[in-house]
Chain A
Amino acid sequence: MSLSIGLRYSFLTLFLLFLIVALVWTPYDPYQIQMGDRLQTSSAIHWLGTDHLGRDLLSRIMEGARTTVGISLAILFVSLLIGVPFGLLSGYIGGWLDKAFKKIIDAFMTLPDYIFALILTGLLGPGLVNLIFAITAVKWVSYARLVRSIVLEQRQKDYVRLAEISGMKPWKLVVKHILPHTIGNLLVLATLDIGKIILMIASLSYIGLGPQPPSPEWGAMLSEGKTYFQTAPHLMIFPGLCIVITVLLTNSWGDFLRDRYDVHIQSHSAKRSMSSILFRKGV
């Protein structure tokens, strides 16, 4: 049983509203240290309590949403910017370029995403820019691969051949007759990927490879809170909940979009990813 459309949209609207508010306003300054108020639980003054330096947790979570979601969108955007043209070129031109590209894909596929990103950030050193670079380096390959496979499939179609016959310039042909075919699939992959990227950012920050303190990031907040877990569990619960909700939301939307756009899945609708099962039964 799938989530009703109305519920799906209201979850998304709430989430976007939260993000927009976080962009312009937080209840307190997320960096303001108040040692007198440290490790407070929820109250009317500090809705989600305060952390070990007395900073307001809600403000930090909102500021963290900006960082985490912002970085993940930036990574997604750069991955698309590199991956899509690469896939188009490789698929359409073929020949040595395609062969070289296949080797690059194979090289990237030898290690799992996480380990690759971990090694890269480890080598480059911690920091926001390095984190973005490392995750983009891992992620762009899947977009290039997806686009390439669609181009290879579409190239065989008669209308592409006929457009070729009609004497169009190659780049125009690719943009007008092939690129639009990739949009649906790209949208699905990108939406599903936001959740994965957020998890990746959070887990790399958790082990100290992401943005450095005092800037709040959900994964880094988890890491900071774990020392006080027994006395002030809210320091881990709320940022963790934020990660869970965001990832579930993007995954559920990804599945929803895939069901709508991916013809291959439409015929085997029994295959559902774990996340959608969780979301549909649990929440």
Chain B
Amino acid sequence: MLSIRGLTVHHQLQTLVHPLDLQLHRGEWLALAGESGSGKTLTSLAIGGLLSADLHAHGSIQLEGKELLHLSEPEFRHIRGREIAYVFQDYQSAFTPFITIGKQMDEMIRAHTSLSRQQRQHSCLAHLEQVELPAKPVYNSYPFELSGGQLQRAAIATALLLSPKVLIADEPTTALDSLTSRSIIQLIQRIQQETGIAILWITHDLRQVQRTADTLLIMKSGQVVESGKSHSIFFHPTHPYTVQLLSSIPKLPSRYRLELQNKQVNT
């Protein structure tokens, strides 16, 4: 569905992302992992044509056979939001602070469709329900009235409003606590099963995607060092950097693990 070939991102003479290939299919969960500054976010922004003016992307990015890199700004505006949606890391700046959540969701639909006011509101409420939020109160509230987890859910609901084909999630759970982030991941998993949306999940924490990701791409200083099915990478990493990343996952000492297993057996 989304196919990237030989994508590079330059800043003046410096190459920030070296030729990168990526295939994302319908219903697939692809995780792009690597440390800060490895070019994950730049790659994701390049897909939506959101790079700032001093950065240049070359290569080929195709969405269902349509080349995205050479689209004009108005054409891109048509695709963004409708076919490619984003969720970002910082939930606090996911919504403009002085406009209600509902209005901002409404704006999104209005920019792309010609639905009536009631239809738009109905769709917003339905999507808020889909992310397990109390729809009506959230629709009418300002961003500062919601908690971090609620905001991130609302951001996901907004991203899914126009049933996009690809959801690009740029470390959406990094700023959340571990329990909330787990429930967000479960939510997205459920939505993916329901809608078959393709997900490009960007993270620096491999633990998060251990269970969910189908495919894994490991990046280091702008280069893909390893890619493949996620379970094969988890169990048989080939590149030394991947080994290092995997070994940095803290493990429960074996005596605790045994204790935990015993407890689970008992209860």
Report which A residues bind B (CB closer than 8 A). Answer: 94-95, 157-168, 176-177, 180
Contact = CB atoms under 8 A, between A and B. Distances in A.
B96 A164 contact: no
B107 A95 contact: no
Contacts of B81: 165-167
Contacts of A164: 50, 80
Contact of B53 (A94, A160, A176, A180): A94
Q: Find the residue from A162, A164, A168 having the highest chain B CB count within 10 A.
A: A162
A165 B95 contact: no
A180 B93 contact: no
Interface of B: 48, 50, 53, 77-78, 80-82, 84-86, 88-90, 93-99, 104, 107-108, 111-112, 155, 158
Contacts of B99: 176-177
Given A94-B53, A165-B50, A166-B111, A159 B82 contact: no
B50 A161 contact: yes
Given A94-B53, A177-B96, A162 B88 contact: yes
Given A95-B53, A158-B94, A159-B94, A167 B112 contact: yes
Contact of A180 (B48, B98, B108, B158): B98
A161 B77 contact: no
Contacts of A180: 98
Contact of A157 (B50, B80, B93, B107): B93
B94 A162 contact: yes
A133 to B, nearest CB: 35
Given A161-B86, A163-B107, A165-B48, 20 more contacts: A157-B93, A158-B90, A158-B93, A159-B93, A159-B94, A159-B104, A161-B88, A162-B86, A162-B88, A162-B158, A163-B104, A164-B80, A165-B80, A166-B80, A166-B111, A166-B112, A167-B77, A176-B99, A176-B107, A180-B98
Contacts of B82: 167
Contacts of B86: 161-162, 165
The main secondary structure of chain A at its interface with chain B is helix
Contacts of B107: 163, 166, 168, 176
Contact of A167 (B78, B97, B155, B158): B78
A117 B141 CA distance: 48
Contacts of A176: 96, 99, 107
Interface-centre pick from A166, A177, A180 (highest chain B CB count, 10 A): A166
A236 to B, nearest CB: 48
28 contacts: A95-B53, A158-B89, A158-B90, A158-B93, A159-B96, A159-B97, A161-B50, A162-B155, A164-B50, A165-B48, A165-B80, A165-B84, A165-B85, A166-B80, A166-B111, A166-B112, A167-B77, A167-B80, A167-B81, A167-B82, A167-B108, A167-B111, A168-B107, A176-B96, A176-B99, A176-B107, A177-B99, A180-B98
A233 to B, nearest CB: 53
A166 B124 CA distance: 14
Contact of A168 (B50, B98, B111): B111
Nearest to B89: A158
B50 A163 contact: no
B88 A158 contact: yes
Contacts of A95: 53
